[in-house]
Copies of this chain bind each other. A is one copy, B any other.
Amino acid sequence: MTTPLSGRKAQAARNDETILAAARAVFMRSPGAPVAAVAQEAGVGVSALYRRYASKEELLATLCADGLDRFIAVARAAQQHDDPWDAFAAWVRGVIEEDVHSLTVHLAGTFTPTPALGELSQQAITLGEEIFDRAVAAGVLRDGLEVGDVTMIFEQVTAVRVADAARTTELRRRYTELLLDAVRPAAASAPLPASAPTGAELGERWVPRDR
């Protein structure tokens, strides 16, 4: 069943994806962007958008679920590696590459979470723990490192951003490798100070923010 190039239905169906892609691009760039910016990026009017989503919040929730899906897909693919370190590195690189962090955590707090989102997020967390624990068991991570640290690494690399999008990707790759090096046992010059972020600390960003 190939979609015909013309016809109203086909056009509308194509718009579905165009709009979602535009929303992803825009909100990744600036999480607080107005709805009109998404419409402009997609080359459509605002009404095309509101025909599909009842509100901005619903669009954001959809995007967030989409991000979690990607996260889970990346993690599952990474798990296929035989070597625990390769799996770990593939997971980290993949999450950064797809900019999944911007799509999830940065959007969290801008809408009231749904139960479905909670389940997806729980699944993502579990997958991450599996990959991490395997790496720990294999002794390829430095002492004292915990899963929460990896989340913070995502957060930190995601903060790398310059005007040019392609260059941003390049730079993120650079610091991903830097941090992957940092996380190996050979890098440790002393125990890390303080304690890794707890699940509660990482979870607090899901509650709606005041500002």
- A residues whose Cβ falls under 8 Å from a Cβ of B: 30, 33, 149, 152, 155-160, 162-163, 167, 170-171, 173-175, 177-184, 186-190, 192-197, 201, 204, 211
Determine if A178 and B171 form an interchain contact, defined as CB atoms under 8 angstroms apart: no
Q: Specify which of B33, B152, B160, B171 is in contact with A175 (CB 8 Å cutoff).
A: B152
Most chain B beta-carbon contacts within 10 A, residue among A178, A189, A190: A178
Residues of B within 8 A of A167 (CB): 201
Residues of B within 8 A of A188 (CB): 181
A156-B159, A162-B204, A184-B189 are known contacts; what are 10 more A-B pairs with Cβ within 8 Å? A162-B197, A170-B193, A170-B194, A170-B195, A171-B194, A174-B195, A179-B182, A180-B189, A181-B189, A187-B187
